[in-house]
């Protein structure tokens, strides 16, 4: 069952990867990369259930925190053209 | 093979959530401009990831792990609107206009005020 | 047209290759059972010898603690170098930060972020995590201050001298914990042999000197990373003040 | 001052529950360390975040409440809205021909409290078809990007957001 969910998320992440490379402007790529981080966090939670091991969940939480900070930094950089304003 | 009700419900949640994730990724490819892609990529994916995580939490027996998975879901629920709003505002202030737009009050407001008030 | 078509074909092939790798990865998801070499020894006896159930922490802070000291000193040296390079720049203007929704939303998250980072550092010997990871999450919190509220707010909240103090005291703490081993005659950075209480395996108070070393490394990494980020931001703002042609509010 | 004290006690309790949840060591030393850490973090946050050093106060804010009777209907509808939003985007993405009428609409709200405004903005982002682009604090306006303006004068979006706003105000103000 979980393997089926992993297959679906794999196809979704491939479509997001397509948008990351093809995307005509920078915010397209940012949005697609944000979607990829969400998918990856979900995959980590599913792996934790599959292996019966709670270790993956700590990694997933820390990863989602870092991804959130990442998106905010990219948004700020993009908003003013420079990072410091 | 015995199928009890809880794991059946969990599997249903997971299947629907993964289906939503796939359709939102499809929308991210097919939608015409950046703002609609933000709609697809952040909002719909939030719903899909939430449903998948709730399904995973129902599937796992130990309830400490359930609580941790629900914590991740709650974190998504709080942070995703914030980050999508930040990206959308950055896009507009950078100067990317919507390609097909029928109404644009925000641009008029920015032009009228000139100076941005307290943000 | 042909260029975009070519790009699409290349992207499609890349996606296919990536999908093939994912497919192999999902097929190979069974956990491997056979462990040979020194890994077998570590997995069997690390918990008994050091008292820490997190084997990575046991290796990092007990078996090869001297190397960890070297890695931490690499961070210290790089922080010193960057701070010296950018020392001339003065803090002139404050940035405005992001919109109000982001400010208020992040202010709801920040206390939980700080507590989570502290938990990662303190639980390093029983669950995944440790000084390096927890310090990185702490540094993320300070970077979020700087990004979301503007750099003036971060300078008021955590003064750069406080950061230097935290980093230096972390390094000092690491070396002092090592010297306890020398004084008891068990060698530099010895753990159980130097008389640290081992405790019960899996409890919160266990692992000898490993939690203390985690705290030291966490202080060092968090202060160091945020100092690096803050000095670079200061450099950018200095360049803006030098060129008055740039429009600022 | 009383609301600040109440808020910090609430934050302290929630932080301690969070600590217990993600460490899951029910021993005396771990619980004591958790209590001390959540006390320290509550003090720091109390100084820096609740009185909001980083913003200027120009308006008087009405005090916040939290009514349980309204919250019972509020949160299930919130979850239902998220699921509806997801389903709507999925349907739009699966259509053979995508014909969208996007546009940015200016909405005037009657909510005066800033925290409630932020919650309303986040809720608008998660409801079907709308996305908050910006917020104007001086005039209490929200700028909302709608994915599909069914009528060109944007009355449908205004009606949906009015409903959300009424519910939120009944719960919080």
The domain limits of chain D are 2-48, 68-172
Structure tokens belonging to residue C32: 């491997």
Mean pLDDT computed over every residue of chain B: 82
pLDDT averaged per 10 residues in sequence order, chain C, 249 residues? 82 89 82 76 80 81 85 87 74 66 85 90 84 90 83 73 88 88 80 76 79 90 88 66 45
pLDDT in the model for residue C210: 85
Mean pLDDT of A23-40: 87
Residues 42-101 of C with CB under 8 A from D: 97, 99-101
DSSP secondary structure, B41-107, as one string: IIIIHHHHHHHHHHHHHHH-S-HHHHHHHHHHHHHHHHHHHHHHHHHHHHHHHHT---SS-S-BHHH
Residues 85-114 of B with CB under 8 A from D: 85, 88-89, 92, 98, 100-107, 109
CB spacing of B82 vs D122 below 8 angstroms = yes
Residue of C102, C128, C233 with shortest CB distance to A55:
C128
C-alpha angle B36-A79-D126 in degrees, rounded to nearest 5? 35
Distance CA C90, CA C203 (A): 48
C-alpha angle C223-C61-D18 in degrees, rounded to nearest 5? 60
Find chain B residues with C-beta within 8 A of C100's C-beta.
118-119
Q: Is C206:C52 a contact under the CB 8 Å cutoff?
A: yes
Distance CA C141, CA C134 (A): 11
Distance CA B58, CA C93 (A): 51
Find chain B residues with C-beta within 8 A of D90's C-beta.
19-20, 23-24, 27, 44
The set of long-range contacts for C228-232, using a CB threshold of 8 Å and a minimum separation of 24, is C228/C78, C228/C79, C228/C82, C229/C139, C229/C142, C229/C143, C229/C146, C230/C142, C230/C146, C230/C151, C230/C154, C230/C155, C230/C160, C230/C163, C231/C82, C231/C83, C231/C85, C231/C86, C231/C89, C232/C82, C232/C86
CB spacing of C102 vs B79 below 8 angstroms = no
**Which chains are within 8 Å of D by 3+ CB pairs?**
B, C
Angle between helix axes B45-59 and B5-30 (nearest 10 degrees) is 160
Note the pLDDT tens digit of each residue in C115-165: 999 988 988 888 888 888 899 999 998 888 888 887 777 777 777 788 889
Find chain C residues with C-beta within 8 A of B79's C-beta.
105, 109
Gyration radius (Cα) of chain A, Å: 15
- Closest Cα partner for C110 from D25, A65, A85, B103? A65
Lowest mean pLDDT among A14-28, B31-45, C152-166: C152-166
Distance CA B68, CA B87 (A): 28
B118 assigned to some structural domain: no
- CB neighbours (10 Å) of residue D1? 5
Find chain B residues with C-beta within 8 A of A28's C-beta.
34, 37
Residue with tokens 């609301």: D3
Q: Specify the DSSP class assigned to residue C199.
A: B
Distance CA D159, CA D149 (A): 12
Best of B41, B50, B85 to disrupt the D interface (most D CBs within 10 Å) is B85
Residue of C99, C106, C109 with shortest CB distance to B119:
C99
Note the pLDDT tens digit of each residue in B78-107: 899 999 888 888 888 887 777 766 666 676
D26 at B interface, C-beta within 8 A: no
Give A37 or D160, the one with higher predicted confidence. Answer: A37
- Taking the alpha carbons at both ends of chain C, their separation in whole angstroms is 43
Query: What is the domain count for chain B?
Result: 1
Residue of B19, B27, B92 with shortest CB distance to D133:
B92
Note the pLDDT tens digit of each residue in D117-164: 888 888 888 888 788 888 877 777 888 888 777 655 667 778 878 888
Structural domain harbouring B51:
5-113
Find chain D residues with C-beta within 8 A of B75's C-beta.
none
pLDDT in the model for residue D66: 73
Find chain A residues with C-beta within 8 A of B93's C-beta.
79-80
B89 at A interface, C-beta within 8 A: yes
Chain centre distance of CA B94: 23
pLDDT in the model for residue B117: 45
pLDDT in the model for residue C23: 86
- Closest Cα partner for B85 from A49, C33, C106? C106
Mean pLDDT of B14-21: 90
Q: Is A85:C233 a contact under the CB 8 Å cutoff?
A: no
B83 assigned to some structural domain: yes
Residue D136's beta-bridge partner residues? Answer: D141
Find chain A residues with C-beta within 8 A of B37's C-beta.
19, 28, 31-32
- For residue A63, the distance in angstroms to the closest alpha carbon of chain B comes to 11
- Mapped onto helix, strand or coil, the DSSP state of residue D145 is strand
C-alpha angle C167-C169-C175 in degrees, rounded to nearest 5? 110
Q: C97's torsion region: left (phi>0), alpha (psi -120 to 50) or beta?
A: left
- Taking the alpha carbons at both ends of chain B, their separation in whole angstroms is 59
Find chain C residues with C-beta within 8 A of A49's C-beta.
none
b/e burial code for range C164-181 (CB count within 10 A of at least 16 → b): bebbeebbebbeebbebb
pLDDT in the model for residue C244: 46
- Mapped onto helix, strand or coil, the DSSP state of residue D144 is strand
Mean pLDDT of B1-12: 79
> In degrees to the nearest 10, what's the CA dihedral of C30, C35, C38, C42?
70
Q: Specify the DSSP class assigned to residue D129.
A: T
Structure tokens belonging to residue D131: 């996305």
CB spacing of A21 vs C14 below 8 angstroms = yes
pLDDT in the model for residue B93: 83
B112 at A interface, C-beta within 8 A: no
pLDDT in the model for residue D36: 92
Best of C204, C206, C214 to disrupt the D interface (most D CBs within 10 Å) is C204
CB spacing of B82 vs C106 below 8 angstroms = yes
Residues 38-77 of B with CB under 8 A from D: 38-40, 43-44, 46-48, 50-51, 64, 67-68, 71, 77
Give chain D's residues under pLDDT 70: 1-4, 46-64, 150-154, 173
Which residues neighbour B109 within 8 Å (Cβ) at sequence distance 6 or greater?
D106, D136, D141, D143
- Mapped onto helix, strand or coil, the DSSP state of residue C128 is coil
Give how far Cα C77 sits from Cα of A44, C72, C82, C228, Å. Answer: 35, 9, 9, 11
- For residue A37, the distance in angstroms to the closest alpha carbon of chain B comes to 11
Residue of A10, A14, A72 with shortest CB distance to C147:
A72
- Closest Cα partner for B32 from D1, C18, D95? D95
Best of C26, C98, C100, C107 to disrupt the B interface (most B CBs within 10 Å) is C98
**Domain ranges in chain C?**
31-242
- Closest Cα partner for C209 from C198, C219, C221? C198
- Closest Cα partner for D144 from A33, C143, D159? D159
Q: How sure is the predictor about A85, in pLDDT bands with cuts at 50, 70 and 90?
A: very low
Q: Is D127:D81 a contact under the CB 8 Å cutoff?
A: yes
Sign for the CA dihedral angle at D135, D61, C147, C219 comes to: negative
Contact residues of C toward A, CB < 8 A: 7-8, 11-12, 14-15, 18-19, 22-23, 26, 29, 31, 95-96, 98, 102, 106, 113, 116, 120, 127-129, 133, 136-137, 140, 143-144, 147-148, 151, 233, 236-237, 240, 248-249
B65 at C interface, C-beta within 8 A: no
CB spacing of C99 vs B82 below 8 angstroms = no
In a 10 Å sphere around its CB, with 0-12 CB exposed, 13-18 middle and 19+ buried, how is residue C235 labelled? middle
């Amino acid at each position: 069952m979980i393997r089926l969910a992993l297959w679906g998320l794999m196809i979704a992440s491939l479509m997001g990867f397509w948008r990351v490379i093809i995307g005509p402007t920078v915010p397209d790529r940012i949005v697609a990369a944000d979607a990829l981080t969400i998918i990856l966090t979900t995959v980590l939670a599913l792996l934790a259930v599959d292996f019966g091991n709670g270790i993956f969940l700590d990694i997933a939480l820390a990863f989602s925190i870092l991804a959130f900070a990442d998106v905010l930094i990219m948004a700020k950089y993009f908003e003013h053209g420079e990072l410091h304003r | 093979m015995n199928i009890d009700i809880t794991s059946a419900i969990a599997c249903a949640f997971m299947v629907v959530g993964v289906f939503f994730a796939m359709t939102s990724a499809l929308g991210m490819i097919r939608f015409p401009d950046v703002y609609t892609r933000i709609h697809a990529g952040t909002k719909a994916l939030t719903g899909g990831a939430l449903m998948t995580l709730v399904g995973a939490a129902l599937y796992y027996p130990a309830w400490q792990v359930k609580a941790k998975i629900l914590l991740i879901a709650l974190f998504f629920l709080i942070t995703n609107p914030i980050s999508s709003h930040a990206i959308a505002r950055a896009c507009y202030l950078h100067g990317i206009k919507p390609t097909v737009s029928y109404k644009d009050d925000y641009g008029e407001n920015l032009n009228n005020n000139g100076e941005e008030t307290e943000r | 047209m042909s260029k975009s078509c070519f790009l699409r074909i290349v992207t499609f092939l890349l996606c296919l290759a990536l999908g093939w790798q994912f497919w192999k990865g999902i097929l190979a998801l069974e956990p491997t059972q056979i462990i040979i070499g020194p890994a077998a020894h570590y997995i069997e006896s690390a918990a008994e010898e050091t008292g820490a159930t997190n084997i990575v922490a046991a290796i990092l802070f007990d078996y090869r603690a001297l190397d960890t000291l070297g890695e931490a000193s690499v961070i210290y040296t790089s922080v010193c170098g960057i701070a010296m390079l950018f020392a001339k720049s003065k803090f002139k203007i404050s940035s405005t930060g992001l919109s109000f929704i982001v400010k208020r939303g992040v202010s709801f998250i920040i206390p939980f972020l700080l507590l989570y980072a502290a938990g990662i550092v303190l639980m390093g010997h029983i669950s995944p995590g440790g000084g390096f990871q927890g310090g990185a999450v702490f540094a993320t919190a300070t970077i979020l201050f700087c990004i979301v509220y503007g750099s003036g707010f971060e300078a008021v909240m955590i003064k750069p001298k406080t950061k230097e103090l935290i980093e230096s005291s972390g390094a000092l703490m690491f070396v002092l914990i090592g010297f306890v081993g020398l004084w008891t005659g068990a060698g530099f950075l010895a753990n159980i042999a130097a008389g640290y209480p081992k405790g019960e395996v899996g409890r919160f108070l266990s692992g000898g000197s490993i939690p203390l070393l985690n705290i030291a490394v966490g202080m060092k990494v968090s202060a160091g990373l945020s100092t690096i980020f803050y000095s670079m931001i200061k450099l950018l703002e200095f360049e803006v003040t030098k060129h008055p042609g740039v429009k600022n509010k | 001052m009383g609301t600040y004290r109440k808020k910090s006690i609430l934050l302290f309790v929630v932080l301690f529950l969070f600590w217990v949840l993600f460490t899951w060591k029910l021993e005396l030393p771990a619980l004591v360390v958790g209590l001390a850490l959540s006390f320290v973090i509550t003090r720091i946050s109390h100084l820096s975040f609740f009185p909001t050093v980083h913003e200027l106060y120009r308006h008087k804010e009405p005090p916040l409440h939290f009514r349980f009777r309204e919250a019972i209907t509020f949160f299930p509808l919130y979850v239902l809205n998220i699921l509806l939003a997801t389903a709507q985007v999925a349907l739009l993405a699966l259509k053979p021909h995508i014909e969208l009428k996007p546009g940015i609409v200016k909405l005037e709200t009657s909510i005066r409290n800033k925290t409630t405004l932020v919650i309303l903005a986040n809720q608008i982002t998660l409801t079907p078809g709308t996305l908050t682009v910006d917020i104007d604090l001086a005039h209490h306006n929200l700028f909302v990007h709608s994915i599909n303006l069914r009528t060109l004068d944007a009355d449908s979006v205004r009606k949906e957001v009015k409903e959300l706003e009424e519910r939120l105000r009944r719960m919080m103000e």
